[in-house]
Amino acid sequence: MVALLAVMLGVVVVSGAAQALHPPSNVETIDPLTLHLDGEFVESNLGTAQEPDGSVTVRLIAQQFGFVPNCVTVPEGTLVRFRVTSPDVIHGLILADTNVNTMVVPGFIAEVRTRFAKPGDYTMPCHEFCGVGHQGMWARVTVVPKDQFSAPPLARTRCVPR
């Protein structure tokens, strides 16, 4: 029994230390206490932004119990980079029929990249239990045809939830 426990402990220590077990996606850290004060995730920088190369970046904060902003518009057939972080507890997000599925861990920036094949509304629920309001935590991603998407450079766009 003791040997078995030693083996299991060994597996945990070796996989953690040697294989660098970290939160999924890129390992980028951020101070969760100062998200709203300055840096990439201040409110004026949230939403969809068009990059010089034509791709778009969507920045969101996942917090108890909602996403800020809770509706974003993106163009179809374009590289979309979601960058999300949390000021409080672990949240998650998933978009059905896409490869978007990540945990959002306080202290880290989760980044997922995707391309939407067709226009439409995608419901994006939080999929990590984060407290009493978890079941009401979701956002909408509205995918519009490329020619209908216009975000002036440096502006951040959002849409109105329906």
Applying CB under 6 A, among 128, 139, 140, 156 the residue interacting with ligand CUA is 128
Residue with tokens 């045809």: 145
Site membership for ligand CUA, residue 130 (CB under 6 A): yes
Number of amino acids touching ligand CUA (CB under 6 A)? 8
Site membership for ligand CUA, residue 76 (CB under 6 A): no
Nearest to 110 by CA among 134, 126, 133, 131: 126
Cα gap 74→33, rounded to integer Å: 29
| Contacting range for ligand CUA; rule: CB under 6 A; set: 21-29, 38-46, 76-84, 127-135 | 127-135
C-alpha separations of 46 from 35, 49, 78, 146 in Å = 11, 8, 19, 21
Site membership for ligand CUA, residue 134 (CB under 6 A): yes
The two three-digit tokens of residue 87, written as one number: 């000021």
Q: Where does this chain bind ligand CUA (CB under 6 A)?
A: 62, 91, 126, 128-130, 134, 137
